[in-house]
Amino acid sequence: MNDRHHHPHGEHDHQHGHGHDHGHDHAHGFRGHAHGANEKRIAIAAILTGTFMLAEVAGGIISGSLALLADAAHMLTDFAALALSWFAFRLSRKPGDAARTYGYDRFEVLVAFVNGLTLFAIAGFITYEAIHRLISPGEVLGGTMLVVAIAGLVVNIAVFAILHGADKDNLNIRGAVLHVLGDLLGSVAAIIAAVIILWTGWTPIDPILSVLVSAIILVSAFRLVRDAGHVLLEGAPTHIDIERLRTEVVSSVDGLREVHHVHLWSMTPERPMATLHACIHDGADGPAVTRRIKAELLERFAIAHATVEIEYGECADGAPKAGAHRSAAASRGHKHDHDHDHDHDHDERPALGSTARA
């Protein structure tokens, strides 16, 4: 149900509708501009990465360096990751439809999750190869390895600089940057290994440094998979404290007695959403309280999309259990059932509730 269905005056409908449309369009316009800039940076980075990857594969084969081949493997996956990230930005432009009413923004998070998992696979492959090289060391051409590694470092620094200027809070960008950072550190490791091999002839340094770089990248890969998985599982945004939200909303909105059944989730980390039940005092204006709650959520917590259900007296669903915060997915399943019941109640008591969508 929408707020404007409860407004007795046409001017209320116009004001509420205008406020929603302006904020909604502004938010989408900002995201569209940011996504366009991110998409361009990703495309440039993919072209540079793909071009140099071919040269590094050739250099690794000629020199026999595992560090170079490992770096080339990183670049191959980076090229695929960057291409997939670019496609994710393209797909996220599509508006919502009957099948995906929220749109396609979540695809970016899914791509970030996949990119994080691929880093685990790459690290496993490099570790396996490193053990093999330590058991059966082969000849390494330090000179060729050094030249190609230096060239790779230059390219990786350029690509990293391009992506570093993008939206750092975007999980899709984080995944792409992490892949490129792995290549950059791989190039540094290859340069160090080449110098040591040329100076001392000690070839085991090559696989040892390769494993060290992989271990460093795995730490960030774990964080990326954890954060992307949290969004995919519809966990509450980590930067929003639910108890603080309850307290500040109640203290800031006149006519509001208390809020409960608060559920938070996000389509992407930049796009948090909320549903809540708001119990108001007798005589309070339900639509006015709803608009004020939405304004507070937007101003204080950057929640541009919220569904607020106004209640008089006891909650039709019963009092929430203390400390219980069900998942957003369960919330929406619960909300569907409640909406069905609420519609029947609404027929009997028109002023009982009001839900609104931001």
Q: Give the chain's domain count.
A: 2
> Residue 129: its pLDDT value, please?
86
What tens digit of pLDDT does each residue of 9-21 get? Answer: 434 433 333 334 4
Mean pLDDT score of the chain, rounded to an integer? 79
Residue 79, judged by CB atoms within 10 A of its CB (0-12, 13-18, 19+), counts as buried
Would you say residue 232 has pLDDT above 80? yes
CB 108 within 8 A of CB 170: yes
> Residue 39: its pLDDT value, please?
85
**pLDDT tier for residue 246 given thresholds of 50, 70 and 90:** very high
What tens digit of pLDDT does each residue of 253-266 get? Answer: 999 999 999 999 99
Would you say residue 237 has pLDDT above 90? yes
Same domain, 75 and 151: yes
DSSP-assigned letter for residue 105: T
What tens digit of pLDDT does each residue of 157-199 get? Answer: 998 998 887 676 788 888 888 888 888 888 899 899 999 999 9
Would you say residue 311 has pLDDT above 80? yes
> Residue 228: its pLDDT value, please?
95
Same domain, 225 and 251: no
> Residue 321: its pLDDT value, please?
58
In this structure, the chain runs to a length of 358
- Whether 259 is in a domain gets the answer yes
Same domain, 193 and 269: no
Least confident range from 132-136, 197-201, 347-351: namely: 347-351
Going from the C-alpha of 60 to that of each of 65, 67, 118, 191, the distances in angstroms are 5, 8, 21, 13
**pLDDT tier for residue 288 given thresholds of 50, 70 and 90:** very high
Mean pLDDT computed over 340-348 = 41
Q: How far apart are CA 113 and CA 107, in angstroms?
A: 10
Same domain, 164 and 279: no
CA–chain centroid gap for 20, Å, is: 25
DSSP string, 165-188: TS-TT-HHHHHHHHHHHHHHHHHH
Same domain, 123 and 266: no
Would you say residue 345 has pLDDT above 90? no
CB neighbours of 336 closer than 8 A, spacing ≥ 6? none
pTM of the model: 0.70
The domain containing residue 182 runs over which residues?
A: 43-92+104-233
Would you say residue 271 has pLDDT above 70? yes
Query: Residue 114 CB: number of other CB atoms within 10 A?
Result: 17
> Residue 214: its pLDDT value, please?
87
> Residue 302: its pLDDT value, please?
95
CB 178 within 8 A of CB 217: yes
**pLDDT tier for residue 245 given thresholds of 50, 70 and 90:** very high
DSSP-assigned letter for residue 3: G
Same domain, 220 and 259: no
> Residue 229: its pLDDT value, please?
96
Q: Is 346 helix (H, G, I), strand (E, B) or coil?
A: helix
> Residue 339: its pLDDT value, please?
44
- Whether 348 is in a domain gets the answer no
Of 346 and 78, the structure prediction assigns the larger pLDDT to: 78
Same domain, 248 and 175: no
- Tracing tokens 């929220």 back to the chain, one arrives at 102
Going from the C-alpha of 50 to that of each of 80, 123, 153, the distances in angstroms are 9, 20, 14
Same domain, 188 and 301: no
- Tell me the pairing of strands 305-311 and 272-280: parallel
**pLDDT tier for residue 346 given thresholds of 50, 70 and 90:** very low
Same domain, 268 and 130: no
Same domain, 227 and 193: yes
